[in-house]
Amino acid sequence: MKRIVIYCLLSYSLISATIGEISEFVGVRDNQLIGYGLVVGLNGTGDSSSSFYTYQSISNMLQLMNVKIDPASIKSKNVASVMVTAKLPPFTRQGDKISVVVSSIGDAKSLEGGTLIMTPLKGVDGVIYALAQGPISVGGISGRGGTPTHVTAGQIPNGAVVEREIPYDLYSQERIKLSLKEPSFSNAISAEKAINRYFGNKVATAIDPKTVNLNKPESMSMIQFLATVENIDINYKTKSKIVINERTGTIVSGVDIEVSPIVITHGKITIKVNPVQYLPQNGGTITRLDNDVAIDSNGRILTRKNQNNIANITRSLKKLGAKPQDIISIIQTMKEAGAIQADLEII
């Protein structure tokens, strides 16, 4: 049985940030839009005859142009049915342009070279807020098969024109809520103290781990007040996070995420985590990857004290030949056992 020994301790981090970087103002947000449309001009890579709704949509479109045609008589494969999605940013005005994402819903082989014809985009209330149209860009997007020439999704940068605004009267308001991006009692209190300290009186009140109520001073407009608040500095305690993509085997983590003492057996690999003060010198049975990590002939991983982060551990496991799925399983087991204090997100 291969034995891997990892020596480490645990650490936490505190960063300096502004209120605007770690929070949002309630009510100031994006709104989702969606629409159904047709992409034309495809080089024989559109929907087949089995996607009957596509040909029905073509027939309906042509009827609007005084061309009547039976859907069953349409044989073209140069058209594809798509769903069009977009985000309507806050305070967007009529005539502004927003980008859209176009995704095939039929059996089209590719949307490359296609043009989206005018598509109304609706909100959750069923009201049309924008109209999308234009040539589709598929650069950097992989579709079915994962090759650039067979993509079933694309983008139209600035491809929709806003036709209707979402009213929001921010100027005349006297109060507003601040919503922290990561709920935390300590961060909510820190935000309250930082804001009150800056203005010299109690304008902020933390009401829960995520929300801080703000009362506008009489001497300032709401716009001036919010512009000032979002630039106030705060000592912000961040939550460490490890993000794992099981499909690709990708692991992303902060450099300071460390592991507590633990012993784990995974298949033929045994991992033992213990503190160590000094790293053995290079030579003999010891191979040093750098000044922080070494591997001995028995497959043991040695990490220098305070350098026992997930990045060094995963790099060492990979050097020993561990597969990505094995490394992911080991990290998940460490988290479940309480050896890793960071949040674990699987995507």
Give residue limits of the domains in the chain. 2-12+240-346, 14-27+169-237, 31-162
Who has greater pLDDT, 143 or 202? Answer: 202
Residue 61 to residues 48, 66, 71, 127, 160, Cα–Cα distance (Å): 18, 9, 11, 21, 19
**Average pLDDT value for residue range 50-77:** 88
Residue 44: is it exposed, middle or buried by C-beta count within 10 angstroms (0-12/13-18/19+)?
exposed
**Average pLDDT value for residue range 176-204:** 91
| Residue 8 pLDDT level (bands cut at 50, 70, 90) | very low
**Average pLDDT value for residue range 218-230:** 93
Residue 306 pLDDT > 80, yes or no? no
**Average pLDDT value for residue range 22-35:** 92
Q: Which structure tokens are listed for 345?
A: 């997100």
Print the SS3 string covering 108-143.
CCCCCCCEEEEEEEECCCCCEEEEEEEECECCCCCC
Residues found in the chain: 347
Q: At what angle do helices 324-337 and 310-319 cross, to 10 degrees?
A: 140
Q: Which residue has the tokens 């027939």?
A: 59
pLDDT score of 3 = 46
The residue type of 320 is L
pLDDT score of 42 = 94
Closest to 92 (Cα-Cα) out of 155, 20, 29, 174: 29
Residue 34 pLDDT > 80, yes or no? yes
Who has greater pLDDT, 305 or 82? Answer: 82
Residue 49 pLDDT > 90, yes or no? no
Residue 37 pLDDT > 90, yes or no? yes
Quote the Cα angle for 303-304-308, to 5°.
55
| Residue 299 pLDDT level (bands cut at 50, 70, 90) | low
Q: Which CATH architecture has domain 14-27+169-237?
A: Alpha-Beta Complex (3.90)
Sheet holding 250-253, edge to edge: 250-253, 241-245, 343-346
**Average pLDDT value for residue range 34-47:** 94
Dist. CA 267–CA 226, nearest whole Å: 55
Contacts for 73 with CB less than 8 Å, ≥ 6 apart: none
**Average pLDDT value for residue range 145-164:** 81
| Residue 288 pLDDT level (bands cut at 50, 70, 90) | low
The mean pLDDT value of the chain amounts to: 82
First-to-final CA distance of the chain: 31
pLDDT score of 179 = 94
Q: How far is CA 105 from the centre of its chain?
A: 23
**Average pLDDT value for residue range 100-108:** 94
Radius of gyration of the chain measured on its C-alpha atoms: 28
Residue 302 pLDDT > 80, yes or no? no
Dist. CA 156–CA 131, nearest whole Å: 12
| Residue 114 pLDDT level (bands cut at 50, 70, 90) | very high
Residue 240 pLDDT > 70, yes or no? yes
Residue 195 phi, psi dihedral angles, 5° rounding: -70, -45
| Residue 145 pLDDT level (bands cut at 50, 70, 90) | very low
pLDDT score of 230 = 93
% the chain with pLDDT above 70: 78
